[in-house]
Structure 1
């Protein structure tokens, strides 16, 4: 193998250590699902629901029976929904700080610093019985969300900067693969005979911070990003040392020359602020596409599946819904790997269209299955199969592609602002779905996924009409596609003046 392109032990360690942050993100996404009923019962006790019920129930009623309907109490519903959705509020806020934290002390030290948040969040949830469980869990989920908002940007940033060209795509997708693996792990250890039971559920939630502890021991052994050292700090010798550690004994001159050109190009195009990007008509089409791609990811209904899959399988008549949920996690992981193999062959636009269209059909089938399951027993299998296929289609395209297509359709100047806006849009949408789904489900019943089917149809049509294929294209070629779509009236001297103002703006 050619020198400088081999996978060294140091590179493997660095990628593994960074991906632990993504694993923790995935674990935090999935861990709240399996022990839902148990947590709701403890919320009921903390909120006094047990006291209210015990006053009207017979003396010989067991505590289990007294608590079985705790999840239907209005106070429990709102605190449970907040426990699920507060995670996204933290991510929503911190998504704007990814660039600042990454540039402040570097990618490695940035990931190391934010691990304090993950450990604190794990302790809050793990020790929730020491005070009021509903308050402690909500606080822990909020802090963990803040951490995950940072790590969901820092991890792919670091891996993308240290990966050799030949493996940049494959290593970059490990971020998404680690997320779905974390979801699967949380589902397995959330089984009632492991940690998802009345005694161990605080430990189950507290383990959300465990990967951060391991990562804190490994990150000091990892080299800093050579691109950060050279392009942002101008430390050529330190960048050279980092390259040698990552790639072994080889001549780093070509890599350093590439970084030099990248630095010169970046200096020509100053960063565009978030406010300037929102106001600009020059980048409006790219920004519209980027935000719609992220909206399609979250409003597809996928997080409704992740957060509430156990409840949905129960509604579908599945006798062991937790095991069916784990099956969803396995399929989720498998089809993420399928996407890795296909994305550079089939193309971004094609896979997104196939994924969105397939999910739309599955949402309709899921609705039919839920509606008719009382009339035809085999309809429960239709519902369950639809959920499995729904997740499969999601991971083929709409899941991983929005995260990296933003970087492809924006140049160096507006890219950080665009990524921040797209990330905030993603987390905000995540919050809306997590907070409102229980109420929508109560309102629409078995028709709940018709709403998502309608949204998926809109996103499929939008992708077909407005999203260009970026596979194998340079930035100039992608920009030309957007320019062609703009009306001649928009291509006025005013646009040129605005672009110049953006590039010279002092608030960039």
Structure 2
């Protein structure tokens, strides 16, 4: 087996010796490659395609064909219930269909800790994907059966399952990965979400599936991604850290780690022992959400997780994309070309998410997070100025385009990827699931707040609404600068044991 110097790893602690059949040989510790293995790669690909991308798909799928689906809703209500909705009534109905997914996301996230500890990380992922299949069938049947109820139920199920997955997937993958790859696999959940939003926007174009005949196919299309993911289940490993720390099943944990690392027991046992030695929580401790909320020792770490998760949504990323089409039109593009340019900005967000996989893995999480929030604040303030004075200063219309692209890049540096997995690096395995669940609740809550309030605020104060988001990212910058310590793999390996 070739040795990848980037992932060299001594399987036993300094000063120890090699073991064979649990007996010391007196030889120096064995050094092996614990980088990518086919099972780790399979877990990453399967969960990204079958779990994360469908979440992004459902978040973005209703934007482009919204007018078509609203018209169907209006006609269906009139036909089935003989109720003729006013414009405001239709808006309320549509807001309910859109927002129920976010409510489901908050609820699903809150149950994430309980479910993840009860049926396991892998079991939770499978449960979420089965929910996607049920929701996809309801979406497909809603149009021919003329059922508004199916739309509500399907969106609620998607929300519940999405909340579970966003709370568990980053934790699952980082617990599977060796320390040197935790940053890379932690980015895969937000990468999947970004990919799903972009692909849904493209598929929702009128030239593809965004038509009166095909919108129900568009809504249920993500099922195609879930099926191959479920087919990989026999080769998916459960988290060895979960099995060892939560279920107290050391033998099964070793068995899963052997399969995951493709190494014999006498080698991988040292990794499990090393992890156990770094877990500062007592072996018998049971962590619930309420207990975590009451813990003074972990309060700051929990505040950091929740602030980053909520701050991601309160950074204004959705507002910037909402404005992007009108900004591109002001630069001289036609409406159709402006829509394609807006898709281009979404594509930039996706490409930047891919670029950040190795960057986040090898560089300081703290530096990237602070750089992202600070530069996002600068771009949001700049966008406010550019939009307000673009009719007075001619080149400000072009600068506003630069502002959109600059903000997207700033967001992708840290605000996009880091909030989803930072909890796995700030918490031991015991309280980790509860911390991830609460962080996910804050993320979905932030999304709900922005979704329900932005249009109202935008109608009242226009471009000044960006300053609210700038204040949010500015305060987050100060909080991170003062309170966030470094969490990258190299520092974790060097500092005193404080996490698992």
Residue 27 of structure 1 aligns with which residue? 57
The two structures have a TM-score, normalised by structure 1, of 0.80
Tell me which moved more, 283-292 or 125-134: 125-134
Are 1:440 and 2:470 counterparts?
no
Residue 354 of structure 2 aligns with which residue? 337
Residue 256 of structure 1 aligns with which residue? 269
Q: 1:458 aligns with which of 475, 482, 492?
A: 475
Q: 2:181 aligns with which of 167, 179, 191?
A: 167
Residue 97 of structure 2 aligns with which residue? 83
Q: 1:13 aligns with which of 34, 42, 60?
A: 42
| 1:77 to 1:366, Cα distance in 2 relative to 1, 3 A | farther
CA deviations 1:393-449 (Å, max 9, x no partner) are: 111011211222223333444333322222211111111111222222222233332
Contact 1:470 1:478 in 2 (8 A): no
| 1:73 to 1:209, Cα distance in 2 relative to 1, 3 A | same
- The whole-number CA distance in structure 1 between the counterparts of 2:330 and 2:144 is 34
Tell me which moved more, 169-178 or 300-309: 300-309
Contact 1:18 1:219 in 2 (8 A): no
Contact 1:290 1:422 in 2 (8 A): yes
SS at the partner of 1:453?
helix
| 1:380 to 1:459, Cα distance in 2 relative to 1, 3 A | same
Tell me which moved more, 88-97 or 5-14: 5-14
- The whole-number CA distance in structure 2 between the counterparts of 1:95 and 1:186 is 23
Contact 1:269 1:412 in 2 (8 A): no
SS at the partner of 2:371?
helix
Q: 1:294 aligns with which of 303, 309, 314?
A: 309
| 1:313 to 1:202, Cα distance in 2 relative to 1, 3 A | farther
Q: Which runs of 5+ in 1 are unaligned?
A: 55-69, 481-508
Tell me which moved more, 448-457 or 268-277: 268-277
| 1:317 to 1:359, Cα distance in 2 relative to 1, 3 A | farther
Matches within 5 A, 1:211-222: 211-222=225-236
How far is the alpha carbon of 1:133 from its aligned partner?
A: 6.1
How far is the alpha carbon of 1:296 from its aligned partner?
A: 1.6
- The whole-number CA distance in structure 2 between the counterparts of 1:153 and 1:280 is 20
| 1:19 to 1:120, Cα distance in 2 relative to 1, 3 A | same
- The whole-number CA distance in structure 2 between the counterparts of 1:171 and 1:299 is 24
Residue 506 of structure 1 aligns with which residue? none
How far is the alpha carbon of 1:193 from its aligned partner?
A: 0.2
Q: Which runs of 5+ in 2 are unaligned?
A: 4-31
| 1:155 to 1:35, Cα distance in 2 relative to 1, 3 A | same
How far is the alpha carbon of 1:19 from its aligned partner?
A: 1.7
- The whole-number CA distance in structure 2 between the counterparts of 1:79 and 1:312 is 29
Q: 1:37 aligns with which of 51, 62, 67?
A: 67
CA deviations 1:96-117 (Å, max 9, x no partner) are: 2223323333333332233221
| 1:444 to 1:41, Cα distance in 2 relative to 1, 3 A | farther
- The whole-number CA distance in structure 1 between the counterparts of 2:364 and 2:479 is 17
How far is the alpha carbon of 1:455 from its aligned partner?
A: 2.3
Matches within 5 A, 1:127-166: 127-131=141-145, 135-166=149-180
The two structures have a TM-score, normalised by structure 2, of 0.81
- The whole-number CA distance in structure 2 between the counterparts of 1:178 and 1:117 is 18
Q: 1:95 aligns with which of 109, 123, 135?
A: 109
Residue 441 of structure 2 aligns with which residue? 424
- The whole-number CA distance in structure 1 between the counterparts of 2:485 and 2:305 is 11
- The whole-number CA distance in structure 2 between the counterparts of 1:132 and 1:214 is 30
| 1:310 to 1:84, Cα distance in 2 relative to 1, 3 A | farther
